[in-house]
Amino acid sequence: MLDKYGVGDDPYCYPGTNLLKNKLSIQDEKLLSEAERDLSFVAAAAIEFKEPPYDLAYLCNIHHALFTDLYEWSGKLREVDITKGYTRFCNVSFIENESNKLLNKLSQDNYLVDLEYSEFITKLSEYYCDLNMIHPFREGNGRAQRIFFEHLVINSGFEISFDAVSVDDWIEANILGVHCDYSKMKAVLNICVS
């Protein structure tokens, strides 16, 4: 579970709890997790592939589509600093700038189109981990980011499926990516992308 660092209550949560305020007024962590999973699964099926630009607005639109039935702040950049375990994600005051800088670089890299497979996987791994460190939303970053990168992969002429990768391997790849060690993410994406 994401924990806010800093002082004071998290305005995204019900007072005195770590439970996110939601449109369904769910105040049980397990039920909220199930609602997130189920609603975002249905919403994901309705998100259509689009061609570039794959920019911050595109990512925000994906997040909004996934979580609009549950959270008022769906598709909006977070307004609090967050941490998960020992990882502190991008400071809230830099999210928009860092996201735009990274995604502008992706645009300059022609959205990874026409790269050889090995170079594609290398760059895809780096972009994935770097965007994950920004963690632009209060919750739902992983789901939104996977769809964003699915579209990037498809646009580059490849296919992707995360089904063959274990949750543990995926988490480890993301944790190592925090330290700019992209080796595990490259190994994971080698399995996912064809």
Does the structure show a pLDDT above 70 at 1? Answer: no
CB–CB of 123/107 below 8 Å? no
Amino acid identity for residue 88 in this structure: R
CB–CB of 95/82 below 8 Å? no
Tokens 């999210």 sit on residue: 95
The CA distance from 124 to 118, in Å, is 10
Q: What is the mean pLDDT of residues 92-113?
A: 99
Domain residue extents for the chain: 3-192
Distances (CA, A) of 111 to 46, 152, 179: 23, 7, 24
| 136 upstream amide cis, omega within 30 of 0 | no
Tell me what the pLDDT averaged over the chain comes to: 95
Q: What pLDDT was estimated at residue 5?
A: 42
Does the structure show a pLDDT above 80 at 2? Answer: no
The CA distance from 194 to 190, in Å, is 8
Residue 85's pLDDT band (boundaries 50, 70, 90)? Answer: confident
Q: What pLDDT was estimated at residue 8?
A: 54
Positive or negative, the CA dihedral 61, 112, 106, 169 is: positive
Express each pLDDT in 152-187 by its tens digit. Answer: 999 999 999 999 999 999 999 999 999 999 999 999
Residue 9's pLDDT band (boundaries 50, 70, 90)? Answer: confident
Q: How many DSSP H helices and E strands does the chain contain?
A: 7, 3
The CA distance from 89 to 164, in Å, is 27
Pairing of strands 87-88, 3-4: unpaired
Contacts of 78 (CB under 8 A, 6+ apart): 12, 92, 95, 135, 136, 137, 138
Class of CATH domain 3-192: mainly alpha
Residue 91's pLDDT band (boundaries 50, 70, 90)? Answer: very high
Tokens 């026409």 sit on residue: 114
Express each pLDDT in 34-78 by its tens digit. Answer: 999 999 999 999 999 999 999 999 999 999 999 999 999 999 999
